Amino acid sequence: MASAAEAAPAAPALPLRRTRADAGLWGWLVTTDHKRIGILYTVLGLLGLVEGGVLAVLIRLQLARPGQHLLVGDAYNAVVTMHGVIMIFFAATPILWGMLNYVIPLMIGARDVAFPRLNMFTFWLTLAGAVLLNLSWFLGGAPSAGWYAYVPLSTAFARGIGMDAYAVSLLIAQAGSAMTALNLLVTIVALRAPGMTWMKVPPLAWFTLGSMALVITAGLPFMVGLLSILFARWFGVGVYTPSQGGDVTLWLNLFWMFGHPEVYILALPAMGMITEVLATFSRKPVFGYGSMVAAVIAGVVPLSWIVWAHHFYVAGLSASANVAFSATTELISIPMAVIPFVWIGTLWGGDLRFTTPMRYAVAALFLFLIGGLTGLVNGNSAEDRLINATYWIVAHFHVVILGMIVPGILAGLVYWWPKATGRLLSEPLGAATFWVLAVGILLTFVPQFLLGLDGMPRRIYTYVPGLGWHGMNFLSTAGALIMALGVVLYVLNLAWSLLGGARAPADPWDGRSLEWTTPSPVPAYNFARLPLVEAREPLWHAKLHNRPVPEAPEDLDPGREGHLIHMHSPSAMPLLSAVGVFVAGYGAMLHSLPLVGIGGAVLALGTLGWALEDAWGYFLAVGAD
C-alpha cells in the first residue's frame, strides 16, 4: 500500500516561501536541515580535536624526560583524563556524526533525515556536554580518574566537581548520540530513494548502520553506570561501595559493555569512508561487497557485544571466563581482517589516482594492519598478564585511531569538503600535510610499542631514571610535535579554501554515488527530483551507460509537487529543550536539586512546545535557496 495514497482532506495549505525559512544567523540556531547540523557538529568536533591535541602535547612534553615538573600528580591525571574524554566524545564522535549527518541522506537519495528536529536537539546536547565538561576546569578541577573512571577512585576518592562533570556531561552527550543513532538508523531503513534495495546501499551506509546499531544498544549500560556514579557522589548510593554491599566490578562491566563497542562505533564509519574513497580513486567498484556487508553486520556488530571483559582480564576473573572472552576477542579479528582484504581487492588492478583523500586511505590500510595486528597480540588473557596497562596498549589503540580512524576522517573531510562548501582544498598543501602527519604518527607511536615491551605503564606522570625509557619517550615527544604541525597545516588548508579556494564542480572526483549528482554546495532541498536507483553505485552505473541518473516519477516522490519541494519547518524547541537539559545538568554537577528542577521545567516546556507546535513545513521552489 503506497503511503502516497494517505488521504488528508482537512490538511491546511502549506505556505510557499521564496527563500529557506531558516535563513540568517538565527536560522543556524533553529535549523532542522541535516546539512547545517552536520556542519555545526563538524566544527564542534574540530574544536574538540584542537583542545584534545593541545592536552596531548602537554602530556608528551611532561614525559619527554624523567623527573620533569610541568604537570605532576593529579594535574597530570586531569590532563590525561580530559585528553581521552574530549578526543573520544567531543572530537571524534561529533566530527563523525557531522559528516554522516551531511553525507548519508545525500548518498541514499533522501532530502533529510527521518527526525529533523531531533537531529538538531542531538547537536545541542553534544554541545551542552562539551561545555559542562570544560566548565570543570574553572570550577575546581577537571576529572582526573582516567577516561574510564574506575570506581572507587572516581566515586569516593575524587574530590571536587570533576567527576560530577564527567558523569553529567557524558550522560547528556551519550543521550544525544543515542538519538543520532536512532535518526540515522530510521533514515537508512525507511528513506532510501526509490529502487535502492539493500544490496544497492552504498558501503558507508552499511558501516553506519552497524555503528548506529551499536550506539543505541551499547550506550545504555554506560548511561546506567554514569547515573550510578553521579548518584553515588550525590546521594551516597552504594552500588559500587564494598562497605555498603556494593561491588567495584559492577562499573567494570557496565563501562566496558559500552567501552568496547564504542571503539567500533568510531571505527566503522571511518572504515566506510575509506572504502568509498578507495573505490572512487581506484576507478573500480568495491571488491567483495557481500563479504563487506557480512563482515560488518554479521561479524563486527554481534561480536563486539561479547568481548568486553578483555579490558579487565587482570581483575581476577575465573580462568574459564578469561578463556571465553579471549576466544570471542580472537574471533572478532576475522571480520576486522576481511575489511582490509576488501580494500586490497578494491585497489588491485585499479587505475589509482593519488589525490589527498587517496593518500590518507592507502596509509590507513597499512597503518591499520599495524594497529590491528598489535591488537591481536593483546587479545588473550595469558599475555595480557604482561602487556595490560603498558604503553603497548597505548600505542595499539592510538595507532588504530590515528592510523585508521583519523585518516579515514581526514580522507572523508577532504573528499566531501567540495560538496559541502563548494570550494576545493589545495592539493599541494594536502600532500605536504599528509607526509608531515604520517611521519609524526609513526615517530610518536612506534617508540611507544618499545616502551610497552620495556614495561612502562600507562598514566604515570614521570618515571625513575635508569629504566631505559627516556630515549623512546624523547622520540615520541618529537613525533607528537610533528603531528601537531600536521594538524595545524590541515586546518590551515580548510581555512584557506573557505577564504578563497577554487570553486568546486558538482562532481570533482568522478564519483560513483548519488551525492555527486547534486550541485556543490548542496541546495537546501538536496534533490530537485529524487533519483530512481537501478544499480549499486547509481552515478557510476549511469556514467557507464552514458546517460544521467533517472529520476523518480512524482508518485514515488511525495515530497515534491512539480517544481515545489516540501521542506521541514525550522524550530526553536530543540534549542529551548536543550537549554533546559544544560541547566539541569549544571545543577546536577553542583548537586543542586533546585537548579535541576528549573532545568527540568524548561525541558518540559520545550518538549511540550515541540509536541504541540505546528510543524507542517513549507514549500520551496527549485532554484530558490
Task: List the interface residues with another protein, window 136-165 (CB under 8 A).
Answer: 144-146, 150, 152-153, 157
Ramachandran category for residue 343: left, alpha or beta (phi over 0 → left; psi -120 to 50 → alpha):
alpha
The window from 224-232, 501-509, 513-521, 584-592 that contacts another protein (CB under 8 A) reads 224-232
**Which of 476, 497 has the CB closer to another protein?**
476
Helix (H) or strand (E) holding 381: helix 381-387
**Contact pick of 59, 87, 120, 257 for another protein (by CB under 8 A):** 257
Please report, in angstroms and rounded to a whole number, the separation of the first and last CA atoms in the chain: 34
Q: Is 400 in the site for another protein (CB under 8 A)?
A: no
Q: Which residue has the cell 549544571?
A: 586
Could you give the 3-state DSSP secondary structure of residue 424? Answer: coil
Cell numbers given for 456: 612502562
**Which of 360, 417 has the CB closer to another protein?**
360
Q: Is 307 in the site for another protein (CB under 8 A)?
A: no
The window from 94-102, 337-345, 419-427, 435-443 that contacts another protein (CB under 8 A) reads 337-345
**Contact pick of 340, 403, 430, 501 for another protein (by CB under 8 A):** 340
Residues 6+ apart with CB under 8 A from 230: 164, 167, 168, 171, 588
How far apart CA 475 and CA 494 sit, in angstroms, is 29
Using omega within 30 degrees of 0 as the cis cutoff, is the peptide bond preceding 152 cis?
yes
For 15, 499, 561, the CA distances from 23, given in Å and listed in that order, are: 16, 21, 23
As measured in angstroms, the least distance from the Cβ of 564 to another protein is 12
Q: Is 199 in the site for another protein (CB under 8 A)?
A: no
Cell numbers given for 170: 557524558
| 620 within 8 A of 564, measured Cβ to Cβ | yes
The window from 45-53, 203-211, 319-327, 586-594 that contacts another protein (CB under 8 A) reads 319-327
**Which of 463, 586 has the CB closer to another protein?**
463
| 32 within 8 A of 116, measured Cβ to Cβ | yes
Torsion of CA 431, 104, 192, 544, to 10 degrees: -10
**Contact pick of 139, 220, 429, 564 for another protein (by CB under 8 A):** 220
Q: Is 246 in the site for another protein (CB under 8 A)?
A: yes
Radius of gyration in angstroms for the set of CA atoms belonging to the chain, rounded to a whole number: 25
Q: Which of residues 527-546 bind another protein (CB under 8 A)?
A: 530, 532, 544
Q: Write phi, then psi, for 620 (nearest 5 degrees).
A: -130, 135
Site string for another protein, 271-300 (x = CB under 8 A): -----------xxxxxxxxxx---------
Q: Is 178 in the site for another protein (CB under 8 A)?
A: yes
The window from 322-330, 439-447, 473-481, 584-592 that contacts another protein (CB under 8 A) reads 322-330
Using omega within 30 degrees of 0 as the cis cutoff, is the peptide bond preceding 531 cis?
no
**Which of 52, 379 has the CB closer to another protein?**
379
**Which of 192, 419 has the CB closer to another protein?**
192
**Contact pick of 77, 126, 134, 448 for another protein (by CB under 8 A):** 77
* CA 476 and chain centroid, separation: 26
How far apart CA 388 and CA 317 sit, in angstroms, is 15
Which residues on neighbouring strands pair with residue 619, listed in sequence order? 16, 566
**Contact pick of 314, 492, 495, 502 for another protein (by CB under 8 A):** 314
For 147, 262, 266, the CA distances from 311, given in Å and listed in that order, are: 13, 13, 18
**Which of 255, 417 has the CB closer to another protein?**
255
**Which of 193, 487 has the CB closer to another protein?**
193
Q: Is 322 in the site for another protein (CB under 8 A)?
A: yes
Q: Which of residues 357-376 bind another protein (CB under 8 A)?
A: 362, 365-366, 369-370, 373-374, 376
As measured in angstroms, the least distance from the Cβ of 419 to another protein is 22
- Among residues 120, 35, 53, the alpha carbon closest in space to that of 416 is found at 35
Q: Is 245 in the site for another protein (CB under 8 A)?
A: yes
As measured in angstroms, the least distance from the Cβ of 25 to another protein is 25
**Contact pick of 380, 473, 476, 477 for another protein (by CB under 8 A):** 380
Site string for another protein, 21-60 (x = CB under 8 A): ----------------------------------------
Ramachandran category for residue 35: left, alpha or beta (phi over 0 → left; psi -120 to 50 → alpha):
alpha
**Which of 115, 417 has the CB closer to another protein?**
115
How far apart CA 289 and CA 338 sit, in angstroms, is 11
442-480 burial: b if 16+ Cβ within 10 Å, else e = bbbbbbbbbbbeeebeeeebbbeeeeebbebbebbbbbb
Q: Is 166 in the site for another protein (CB under 8 A)?
A: no
Q: Write phi, then psi, for 337 (nearest 5 degrees).
A: -90, -25
Q: Which of residues 105-124 bind another protein (CB under 8 A)?
A: 110-112, 114-117
As measured in angstroms, the least distance from the Cβ of 490 to another protein is 23
**Which of 34, 423 has the CB closer to another protein?**
34
Q: Is 239 in the site for another protein (CB under 8 A)?
A: yes
